[in-house]
Copies of this chain bind each other. A is one copy, B any other.
Amino acid sequence: MSQSLPMIELASASNDRIGHSYDADKGKILARLKRIEGQVRGISRMVEEDKYCIDILTQVSAVIASTRSVGMLVLEDHIRGCVMNADPDQRESTLDELNLAIERFVRSVGN
């Protein structure tokens, strides 16, 4: 994730796929991530100030919901773009990869 990593290495980190499908939603996704970052910082402040546990839990739940909604958006864009337009010879590997990602996404609640 370091900004200095050359493009080619990052691509190789994901099975040589370089495409991405969220261009149209890029601004929306970045704005939501910015807000989530602020929410997390807000929780740190609450903990530092010894705020009530339940109020902290409420904010934690809000962060999870916001993050999941960003994930849902990226997933939708990915299916619409990358999966539907996959090269016929990459179709199977694209579907396997998608299924793993959905499972990981659904599972994230429990790890």
Quickly give the copy total for this chain.
4
Q: Closest approach, in angstroms, between the C-beta of A109 and any C-beta of chain B?
A: 5
Majority SS of interface residues in chain A?
helix
Instruction: Knowing A41-B37, A68-B109, A110-B111, say if A29 contacts B55 (CB, 8 Å).
Output: no
Interface residues on A, range: 35 or more
23 residue pairs A–B, Cβ–Cβ below 8 Å: A1-B45, A1-B59, A2-B48, A5-B49, A11-B52, A36-B63, A37-B40, A43-B70, A53-B77, A53-B78, A54-B97, A57-B71, A57-B104, A57-B105, A61-B71, A65-B111, A69-B111, A79-B83, A84-B95, A106-B106, A107-B109, A107-B111, A109-B110
